[in-house]
Amino acid sequence: MSERKPCKTDLSDEQWVLVEPVIAAWKAAHRSVSGHQGRYEMREIVNAVLYQGRTGCQWDLLPHDLPPRGAVMYYFTKWRDDGTDQTIHDLLRWQVREKARRKADPSLVVLDTQSVHAAAGVPAQSTGCDAAKKVPGRKRGLAVDVLGLVIAVVVLAASVHDNAAGIALLDKVAADTDTVQKALVDQGFKNAVAARGEKVGIEVEIVERNPAQTGFVPIPKRWIVERAYGILMLHRRLVRDCEHLPRSSESRVYWAMTAVILRRLTGAAAAAWRST
C-alpha cells in the first residue's frame, strides 16, 4: 500500500500495539476460504473508522487514500455484530482502571441519558420525540464508572422513557460485570429502575438536586456522566445520530471511547476541538 499523509485521528504505533492483538485474533478466526488475506491493512480499516467517528463524514466521503466505503463498512458491521468493538473497548478500559490502581471492573456506576437529533434517512420506526426535551431522534443511555469510562451503552428511540433506558442499562451492566453494587441516577429515573436494580443485585440511588441552588451546579459524582457526554460530542458522528441501526450507534460510542482511552494510555494529546 502506498504511503499517505497521516490524519490526526490515525493510530500511533504505540496505540496500534494495544489494538492489534484483538484484530489479529479476529482475522485468524475468520480466514477466507480461498486463503486470501484481504487487500487492506487492518490498521488502515481502524484508522478509517476512527476518522469517520471524529469528523462525522458520510460513508461516501471517506478520503480516497483510506480504504473504500465497502471495505470499511464490512469490518465495521462485522465487528459490531460479533461484539469485537466492545471487546477492544473493554480490554483497554480495564488497562486504564488498572493503571489508576483500581480493579478491572467498578463497584459503582453513574447512569444518565441524552437525546440527540436523528439525521435524514434514519428509519422512523427506531426514532421518536423526547417530550420533555423536545428532541426528535434517539435517546442514548450511558453507565460510566468514577473515571468517566463507559461500562454500558444503549440507544433507543427518544420517545422511550428514561425508565426503559435505565432498566436496559442495568441489565447490560449486570450481564457484563459481577462487581457493580450501586448505581447513581438523577430524578428522571423512577421507582421502576430501583426495582430492576434490586432484581439484578444493584442498589439504585436517586440523587436529587438541591432546590435552593439555581443554574448549572455540578452534583458530586453525578457530573462524571455529563462530562462523558461532553467528551463524546467531540466526535461529530455522535452529535447527530446518523445510523440506521441503534446497534451501530452503540458501536460508534465504543469506538469514540476507544480513541479517548488510547490517548489516555499512551499520553497522546487530543486535537483541540476548535481546530477540528
Average pLDDT, the chain: 92
**Spatial distance between the Cα atoms of 38 and 31, rounded to a whole number of angstroms:** 10
pLDDT at 271 over 80: no
Percentage of the chain beyond pLDDT 90 is: 80
Residue 1's pLDDT band, with cuts at 50, 70 and 90, is: very low
Residue in this structure with the C-alpha cell 450511558, named with its chain if needed: 142
Give CATH for domain 105-242.
Answer: 3.30.420.10
pLDDT at 34 over 70: no
Question: How does 169-200 read in b/e, with b if 16+ C-beta sit within 10 Å?
Answer: bbebbbeebeebeebbbbebbeeebbebbeee
Residue 174's pLDDT band, with cuts at 50, 70 and 90, is: very high
User: If you average pLDDT over residues 35-55, what whole number do you get?
Assistant: 90
User: If you average pLDDT over residues 92-101, what whole number do you get?
Assistant: 96
**pLDDT at position 90, please?**
98
**Spatial distance between the Cα atoms of 47 and 20, rounded to a whole number of angstroms:** 12
pLDDT at 276 over 60: no
User: If you average pLDDT over residues 200-220, what whole number do you get?
Assistant: 77
| One-letter identity of residue 30 | H
pLDDT at 159 over 50: yes
> What are the residue boundaries of the structural domains of the chain, listed by start?
105-242
**pLDDT at position 216, please?**
62
Global pTM reads 0.92
**Spatial distance between the Cα atoms of 270 and 276, rounded to a whole number of angstroms:** 10
**Spatial distance between the Cα atoms of 83 and 143, rounded to a whole number of angstroms:** 18
pLDDT at 242 over 90: yes
Q: Find the range with the poorest average confidence among 22-36, 42-56, 110-124, 183-197.
A: 22-36
pLDDT at 28 over 50: yes
Between 189 and 43, name the one with better pLDDT. 43
Residue 265's pLDDT band, with cuts at 50, 70 and 90, is: very high
Residue 196's pLDDT band, with cuts at 50, 70 and 90, is: very high
Residue 161's pLDDT band, with cuts at 50, 70 and 90, is: very high
- For residue 109, the surrounding DSSP H or E stretch is strand 108-117
Residues 6+ apart with CB under 8 A from 96: 147, 149, 261, 264, 265
User: If you average pLDDT over residues 222-249, what whole number do you get?
Assistant: 95
